A and B are shown apart, each in its own frame.
Chain A
């Protein structure tokens, strides 16, 4: 029981901090908004998706990709936050208290989840302003966002492990970001993966990130006209694939991170 209440106490602490350092939230928003605007207006007319190269088709195609990228980029924040905590005296206080051992990390990832949700709300509003529309019922759209949050939550555990493995918060930020670029670009997020060379196409189709993007496109009704869904299993069953990937990532990285945290106690 104390695992839940302790995590809640730590999550609350991180949310209070977030409210007192609002620039963190604001900077976290600027980058995805920039991506929405740049991709929509710069690439919008020249990227073919499915059988269409209309600006509107690309706009709707793009948003699931940007949303998914945004939730994974929260990884860097989680990592930096934990790396920062680990080098402050406060972590000694936590470790000398009779609290659940994983709570420092769980509380952090829950706070990050709240931050990600806030970011998604703002981003969705911006997306609607630039012309993004959904074509499915409200329940499905909501399910799409829930899937994004779950995936983002899973990734914050990767961030936690990175944060525990590096020496400085700066290293956690860059270490949390570099691998996200290939992960999010060698995928179906920004272009139709069917048009990639076959080697990259296979990677893109099995990329967990692509599964989430594909699932959201289905749930939002954003698949472009004439789009051929690839035969790979995760592309055919993207919701299941996203759920499985998320759960696997949480199980593996949570275990590793909690173990690493405990080991840091000597």
Chain B
């Protein structure tokens, strides 16, 4: 499949801070790439470079088959951008905002008006269409922002942390909208700090840290890199820890880790649910009482931790916003 988004060795510095340190990306047409990483990792800067908002110091980028650095205007006609700060005019109504964006995409006034009405309908904003957007809730503003990015149904979309700050219900709603969009064949690059979100929406995930892509693959591939599944046991009494560890060593494929104060033991295994049943039976036979047992597959949190050596904490750092330096 041809690439819809391609980047090679993108470098961007802000003063002494190297925001991008050689980012390579390749997103095939019609797929979703999740760019995952903590704040300050370079996600937003990457999106800004790919959407012509920022000129990289070095590197090459091609979006929708067009060279981003050589023909930024042509790229702008083929992309839609939805940012982490809902980019709508708060004093304009939802309808006026969409109409304005349509006209700036060089649609005629009448066509822009019709398209605005269509999008308002599609995003369930018709009732609020003629109210200034400052009266909108956070979720409504995000939906409007997303609608604005879709005015010309661009083949390539960029969404920078589309659900940051939304409550779970609104997040869920937005996910549905995004899934619908992608099923229509749009290529999407999505940044997120939420591992769950990347897992949910993206075909492939690129993990970014310190301005580099440190790992890329499907969610399952990344999880496999971290190690397979594990059995986790919490025993009822402290004195049973030793005995339980012996059982797990027998079934496990590696070292058993013990968290003494939690009375919790973890061991890497293969064999899934069948093996779990055997472990339970064996523990029972030996009279080891358990509070909890489960088969645990690695989460993207584990992936991030094992790849970067730190959890995906939210650091409050500059993330390449700086419109005016």
Residues of A that sit less than 8 Å from B by CB: 2, 5-6, 9, 12-13, 16-17, 20-21, 86-99, 103, 164-165, 167, 264-266
Contacts and interface: CB of A to CB of B under 8 A. Distances in A.
B324 interface: yes
Contact of A167 (B84, B92, B324): B324
6 contacts: A90-B87, A92-B323, A95-B53, A96-B79, A98-B77, A266-B55
Contacts of B51: 96
A97 B53 contact: no
A167 B325 CA distance: 8
Interface in B96-147: 96, 100-101, 103-106, 132
A188 B54 CA distance: 47
Contact of B101 (A5, A21, A93, A265): A93
B73 interface: yes
Contacts of B53: 92, 95-96, 265-266
Interface of B: 12, 48, 51-55, 73-74, 76-77, 79, 81, 83-89, 91-92, 96, 100-101, 103-106, 132, 148, 323-325
Contacts of B104: 6, 9, 94, 97-99, 103
B87 A98 contact: no
B133 to A, nearest CB: 11
Nearest to A96: B81
Contacts of A6: 103-104
A78 to B, nearest CB: 16
Given A6-B104, A13-B100, A266-B48, A96 B76 contact: yes
A97 B51 CA distance: 9
Contacts of A13: 89, 92, 96, 100
A116 B100 CA distance: 24
A89 B85 contact: yes
A93 B87 contact: yes
Nearest to A103: B104
Majority secondary structure, A binding face: helix
A92 B87 contact: yes
A98 B103 contact: no
Given A13-B100, A98-B73, A91 B323 contact: yes
A12 to B, nearest CB: 8
A93 B81 contact: yes
A41 to B, nearest CB: 38
A23 to B, nearest CB: 12
A19 B86 CA distance: 23
Contacts of B12: 266
A55 B96 CA distance: 51
Contacts of A94: 104
B77 to A, nearest CB: 4
A98 B96 CA distance: 18
A93 B132 contact: no
Contact of A9 (B48, B103, B324, B325): B103
A89 B91 contact: no
A9 B100 contact: yes
Contacts of B79: 96
Residue of A92, A94, A99, A164 most packed against chain B (CB within 10 A):
A92
A2 B74 CA distance: 14
8 smallest A-B Cβ distances: which pairs?
A89-B85, A89-B87, A266-B54, A93-B87, A98-B76, A96-B81, A99-B104, A98-B77
